[in-house]
């Protein structure tokens, strides 16, 4: 039995609309659709709120019906708090793309300007639903040992020099096998070419093997000129290509154009968080 707040199949949704206009009881509708009476009551309440004729409901596409009865919950359209938050959701989603920005911080700012607004739980739910509806995803299928994704953490980490007592900034190199999410990371003094190549070689030794392709982000230490199809690679990297990896830097991806490097970026975030 489905919960009242869980979306149902589209064919059952259309059946509920037809049964509503046939004026049968909620008990009978629940028996015919296999849903609970609470679920039937939930969607019928939304249909009553809109007060549309049956012909208008029949003319709706599946996408339009989904937006009316599933994406928008009962009572949201009449709740002034939701109307205020709805106008803020695009800017909130944009702010959440910034490094170290969280929903909790956005909620704090929201409550400062709207003290009578939603609580933290409801605010988080609406933000997550908005991001899910406006974010595209592509399923990636990986082969074991086929690719190695590499990147550096966005923020530098620090270690304590015992001799001087100073905190020294360092770069953190991260490599991950996307099939198993087996991760390797190490701290380095900089992101220069020789350091980057050294980190790649250390990763090969750690994994005890060489992948068919190494896929980085647009690193300055490896890419002279970015290009969607044929990026210009630095000479030291080309030499490494000829001696180790058959398809080194098969293609340089832009993180804004694909979610392929998400696993590496997420791993970078984890490493930065655990070091704080």
* Strand-pair category, 147-152 with 247-248: unpaired
What's the pTM value of the predicted model, to 2 decimals? Answer: 0.53
* Residues 6 or more apart whose Cβ sits within 8 Å of residue 12: 33, 34, 35
| Local confidence pLDDT in tens for the 276 residues of the chain | 334 455 577 888 888 888 999 888 888 888 888 888 888 888 888 888 778 888 888 888 887 887 777 765 544 556 788 889 989 999 999 999 887 889 999 999 999 999 988 888 889 988 988 887 777 666 678 888 888 888 888 778 888 888 888 888 899 999 999 888 899 999 888 888 888 889 988 999 999 988 888 887 777 777 777 666 666 777 777 776 666 655 555 444 444 434 445 555 555 554 443 443
The radius of gyration of the chain's CA atoms, rounded to the nearest angstrom, is 26
Q: How far apart are CA 220 and CA 192, in angstroms?
A: 8
192, 169 contact by CB (below 8 A): no
């Amino acid at each position: 039995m489905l919960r009242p707040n869980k979306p149902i199949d589209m064919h059952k949704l259309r059946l509920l609309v037809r049964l509503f206009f046939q004026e049968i009881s909620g008990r009978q509708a629940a028996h015919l659709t296999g849903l609970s009476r609470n679920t039937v009551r939930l969607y019928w309440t939304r249909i009553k709120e809109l007060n549309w004729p049956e012909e208008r409901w029949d003319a709706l596409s599946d996408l339009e019906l989904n937006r009316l009865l599933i994406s928008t919950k009962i009572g949201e359209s009449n709740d002034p708090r939701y109307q205020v938050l709805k106008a803020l959701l695009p800017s909130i989603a944009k702010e959440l793309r910034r490094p170290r920005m969280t929903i909790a911080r956005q909620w704090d700012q929201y409550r400062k300007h709207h003290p009578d607004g939603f609580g933290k739980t409801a605010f988080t739910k609406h933000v997550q639903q908005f991001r899910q509806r406006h974010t595209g995803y592509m399923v990636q299928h990986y082969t074991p040992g086929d690719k190695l994704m590499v990147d550096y953490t966005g923020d530098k980490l620090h270690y304590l020099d015992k001799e001087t007592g100073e905190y020294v900034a360092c770069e953190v190199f991260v490599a991950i096998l996307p099939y198993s999410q087996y991760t390797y990371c190490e701290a380095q003094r900089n992101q220069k070419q020789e350091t980057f190549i050294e980190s790649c070689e250390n990763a090969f030794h750690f994994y005890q093997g060489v992948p068919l392709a190494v896929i980085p982000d647009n690193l300055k230490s490896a890419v002279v000129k970015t290009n969607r199809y044929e990026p210009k690679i630095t000479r030291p990297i080309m030499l490494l290509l000829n001696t180790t990896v058959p398809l080194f830097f098969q293609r340089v991806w832009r993180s804004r154009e694909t979610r392929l490097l998400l696993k590496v970026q997420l791993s970078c975030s984890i490493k930065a968080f655990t070091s704080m």
